[in-house]
Amino acid sequence: MQVAVYPGSFDPCTNGHLDIISRASRLFEKVVVAVLINDKKHPAFTLEERVEMLKAATCHLSNVEIISFSGLLADFMRQHGYSVIVKGLRAVSDFEYEFQMALTNQALNDKIETVFIPSSSEFMFLSSSIVKEVAKYNGDLSALVPKELVPKIMNRFGKEK
Ligand code: COA
Protein backbone atom coordinates (compact mmCIF):
# COMPACT_ATOMS: atom_id res chain seq x y z
CA MET A 1 0.00 0.00 0.00
CA GLN A 2 1.37 3.43 -0.93
CA VAL A 3 1.37 5.42 2.31
CA ALA A 4 2.31 9.09 2.68
CA VAL A 5 3.26 10.62 6.01
CA TYR A 6 2.36 14.30 6.49
CA PRO A 7 4.28 15.59 9.54
CA GLY A 8 3.85 18.86 11.38
CA SER A 9 3.18 20.46 14.72
CA PHE A 10 -0.41 21.48 13.70
CA ASP A 11 -0.77 23.98 16.54
CA PRO A 12 -3.54 24.27 15.41
CA CYS A 13 -4.51 22.60 12.13
CA THR A 14 -5.51 25.18 9.49
CA ASN A 15 -7.41 25.12 6.20
CA GLY A 16 -3.98 25.14 4.55
CA HIS A 17 -3.07 21.86 6.24
CA LEU A 18 -6.47 20.40 5.35
CA ASP A 19 -5.88 21.41 1.71
CA ILE A 20 -2.62 19.40 1.64
CA ILE A 21 -4.14 16.42 3.53
CA SER A 22 -7.15 16.13 1.26
CA ARG A 23 -5.09 16.46 -1.93
CA ALA A 24 -2.55 13.90 -0.65
CA SER A 25 -5.45 11.55 0.20
CA ARG A 26 -6.34 11.51 -3.51
CA LEU A 27 -2.75 10.72 -4.54
CA PHE A 28 -1.93 8.02 -1.98
CA GLU A 29 -3.83 4.99 -0.71
CA LYS A 30 -3.34 6.14 2.87
CA VAL A 31 -2.18 9.38 4.52
CA VAL A 32 -0.75 9.25 8.03
CA VAL A 33 -0.81 12.72 9.61
CA ALA A 34 1.97 12.66 12.21
CA VAL A 35 1.70 15.27 14.94
CA LEU A 36 5.27 15.80 16.05
CA ILE A 37 6.98 17.86 18.69
CA ASN A 38 8.93 20.78 17.27
CA ASP A 39 11.45 21.59 20.03
CA LYS A 40 11.76 25.18 18.81
CA LYS A 41 8.08 25.93 19.55
CA HIS A 42 5.94 26.34 22.66
CA PRO A 43 2.55 24.97 21.62
CA ALA A 44 -0.78 26.53 22.61
CA PHE A 45 -2.50 23.14 22.38
CA THR A 46 -1.44 19.82 23.92
CA LEU A 47 -0.47 16.93 21.66
CA GLU A 48 -3.79 15.23 22.50
CA GLU A 49 -5.77 18.37 21.61
CA ARG A 50 -3.96 18.73 18.30
CA VAL A 51 -4.66 15.08 17.45
CA GLU A 52 -8.36 15.50 18.37
CA MET A 53 -8.68 18.65 16.26
CA LEU A 54 -7.11 16.92 13.25
CA LYS A 55 -9.41 13.92 13.72
CA ALA A 56 -12.45 16.21 13.74
CA ALA A 57 -11.25 18.08 10.65
CA THR A 58 -10.50 14.93 8.61
CA CYS A 59 -13.31 12.57 9.68
CA HIS A 60 -14.77 12.78 6.14
CA LEU A 61 -11.54 11.36 4.65
CA SER A 62 -11.62 7.59 5.12
CA ASN A 63 -7.97 6.94 4.20
CA VAL A 64 -6.49 9.49 6.63
CA GLU A 65 -5.12 8.43 10.02
CA ILE A 66 -3.94 10.81 12.75
CA ILE A 67 -1.13 9.78 15.11
CA SER A 68 1.34 11.53 17.41
CA PHE A 69 5.00 10.78 17.77
CA SER A 70 8.03 12.16 19.57
CA GLY A 71 11.56 11.71 18.29
CA LEU A 72 13.06 11.81 14.84
CA LEU A 73 10.74 11.61 11.88
CA ALA A 74 13.29 9.40 10.08
CA ASP A 75 13.11 6.85 12.93
CA PHE A 76 9.29 6.90 12.92
CA MET A 77 9.37 6.20 9.16
CA ARG A 78 11.79 3.30 9.64
CA GLN A 79 9.80 1.77 12.52
CA HIS A 80 6.63 1.66 10.41
CA GLY A 81 8.22 0.83 7.05
CA TYR A 82 7.01 4.11 5.52
CA SER A 83 9.08 5.82 2.83
CA VAL A 84 7.14 8.85 1.55
CA ILE A 85 6.93 12.19 3.38
CA VAL A 86 4.51 14.79 2.03
CA LYS A 87 5.09 18.47 2.75
CA GLY A 88 3.26 21.55 1.53
CA LEU A 89 5.16 24.41 -0.06
CA ARG A 90 3.52 27.82 0.32
CA ALA A 91 6.17 30.10 -1.14
CA VAL A 92 9.81 30.19 -2.18
CA SER A 93 10.63 31.18 1.41
CA ASP A 94 9.52 27.69 2.57
CA PHE A 95 11.82 25.99 0.11
CA GLU A 96 15.21 26.42 1.77
CA TYR A 97 14.08 25.02 5.14
CA GLU A 98 12.01 22.23 3.56
CA PHE A 99 14.90 21.26 1.29
CA GLN A 100 17.21 21.08 4.30
CA MET A 101 14.68 18.90 6.19
CA ALA A 102 14.21 16.62 3.18
CA LEU A 103 17.97 16.13 2.82
CA THR A 104 18.40 15.58 6.59
CA ASN A 105 15.64 12.97 6.65
CA GLN A 106 17.17 11.21 3.66
CA ALA A 107 20.63 11.29 5.27
CA LEU A 108 19.14 9.67 8.39
CA ASN A 109 17.11 7.12 6.45
CA ASP A 110 18.01 6.60 2.78
CA LYS A 111 14.64 4.98 1.98
CA ILE A 112 12.82 8.29 2.52
CA GLU A 113 11.58 10.40 -0.39
CA THR A 114 9.94 13.79 0.27
CA VAL A 115 7.15 14.83 -2.09
CA PHE A 116 6.22 18.53 -2.15
CA ILE A 117 2.65 19.64 -2.86
CA PRO A 118 2.23 23.32 -3.71
CA SER A 119 -0.24 25.10 -1.46
CA SER A 120 -3.48 26.24 -3.07
CA SER A 121 -3.17 29.96 -3.76
CA GLU A 122 -5.88 30.95 -1.24
CA PHE A 123 -3.86 29.44 1.62
CA MET A 124 -0.39 30.68 0.73
CA PHE A 125 -0.40 33.29 3.49
CA LEU A 126 -1.69 30.97 6.19
CA SER A 127 0.18 29.51 9.17
CA SER A 128 -0.73 28.27 12.64
CA SER A 129 0.83 31.43 14.13
CA ILE A 130 -1.41 33.65 11.97
CA VAL A 131 -4.47 31.73 13.25
CA LYS A 132 -3.40 32.22 16.89
CA GLU A 133 -2.73 35.92 16.30
CA VAL A 134 -6.19 36.45 14.77
CA ALA A 135 -7.84 34.47 17.62
CA LYS A 136 -6.00 36.52 20.23
CA TYR A 137 -7.63 39.68 18.90
CA ASN A 138 -11.06 38.03 18.56
CA GLY A 139 -10.90 38.06 14.74
CA ASP A 140 -12.96 35.93 12.36
CA LEU A 141 -11.38 32.48 11.91
CA SER A 142 -14.03 31.10 9.56
CA ALA A 143 -11.86 31.34 6.42
CA LEU A 144 -8.70 30.16 8.17
CA VAL A 145 -9.54 26.91 9.98
CA PRO A 146 -12.07 24.08 9.62
CA LYS A 147 -15.35 25.39 11.08
CA GLU A 148 -15.62 22.69 13.76
CA LEU A 149 -12.33 23.92 15.28
CA VAL A 150 -13.33 27.58 15.67
CA PRO A 151 -14.95 27.30 19.16
CA LYS A 152 -12.03 25.33 20.60
CA ILE A 153 -9.43 27.77 19.26
CA MET A 154 -11.39 30.85 20.38
CA ASN A 155 -11.91 29.36 23.85
CA ARG A 156 -8.17 28.76 24.23
CA PHE A 157 -7.62 32.46 23.81
CA GLY A 158 -10.44 33.34 26.20
CA LYS A 159 -12.96 34.38 23.55
CA GLU A 160 -16.37 32.81 23.11
CA LYS A 161 -17.59 32.44 19.51
N1 COA B 1 -0.89 25.58 5.15
C2 COA B 1 -0.88 26.37 6.23
N3 COA B 1 0.15 26.45 7.09
C4 COA B 1 1.21 25.67 6.82
C5 COA B 1 1.27 24.83 5.72
C6 COA B 1 0.15 24.80 4.86
N7 COA B 1 0.12 24.02 3.77
N8 COA B 1 2.47 24.21 5.72
C9 COA B 1 3.12 24.66 6.78
N10 COA B 1 2.36 25.53 7.45
C11 COA B 1 2.73 26.28 8.64
C12 COA B 1 2.72 25.49 9.91
O13 COA B 1 1.47 25.57 10.56
C14 COA B 1 3.79 26.18 10.70
O15 COA B 1 3.23 27.36 11.25
P16 COA B 1 3.85 28.00 12.61
O17 COA B 1 5.32 28.19 12.38
O18 COA B 1 3.11 29.26 12.74
O19 COA B 1 3.57 26.98 13.70
C20 COA B 1 4.80 26.63 9.66
O21 COA B 1 4.08 26.69 8.47
C22 COA B 1 5.96 25.72 9.49
O23 COA B 1 5.49 24.42 9.17
P24 COA B 1 6.49 23.19 9.22
O25 COA B 1 7.76 23.56 8.55
O26 COA B 1 5.76 21.99 8.72
O27 COA B 1 6.84 23.11 10.75
P28 COA B 1 6.07 22.38 11.87
O29 COA B 1 6.50 22.96 13.16
O30 COA B 1 4.60 22.35 11.62
O31 COA B 1 6.60 20.87 11.74
C32 COA B 1 8.21 19.12 12.06
C33 COA B 1 7.98 20.60 11.78
C34 COA B 1 7.49 18.71 13.35
C35 COA B 1 7.68 18.29 10.90
C36 COA B 1 9.73 18.93 12.20
O37 COA B 1 10.20 19.80 13.21
C38 COA B 1 10.08 17.49 12.55
O39 COA B 1 10.11 16.63 11.69
N40 COA B 1 10.35 17.24 13.84
C41 COA B 1 10.71 15.92 14.35
C42 COA B 1 12.23 15.86 14.67
C43 COA B 1 13.00 15.63 13.39
O44 COA B 1 12.95 14.56 12.79
N45 COA B 1 13.70 16.68 12.91
C46 COA B 1 14.38 16.62 11.62
C47 COA B 1 15.80 16.23 11.73
S48 COA B 1 16.75 17.39 12.67
pLDDT at 159: 61
Q: Is 128 in the pocket of ligand 1 (CB under 6 A)?
A: yes
Any bridge partners for residue 87, and if so which? Answer: 116
Alpha carbons 80 and 65: distance in angstroms, whole number: 14
As a whole number, the mean pLDDT across the chain is: 95
Query: What are the per-10-residue average pLDDT scores of the chain (161 residues)?
Result: 96 98 98 90 93 98 96 96 97 91 98 97 96 95 96 83 53
Contact 10, 53 (CB under 8 A): yes
Please report which helix (H) or strand (E) contains residue 37, including its range: none
pLDDT at 37: 80
pLDDT at 91: 86
pLDDT at 93: 83
Burial 41-77 (b: 16+ CB within 10 A, else e): eebbbebebbbebbeebbeebebbbbebbeeebbebb
Specify the DSSP class assigned to residue 144. Answer: T
Longest pairwise C-alpha distance within the chain: 48
Mutate to test the pocket of ligand 1, among 9, 21, 68 (most ligand atoms within 8 A of CB): 9
Q: Is 119 in the pocket of ligand 1 (CB under 6 A)?
A: yes
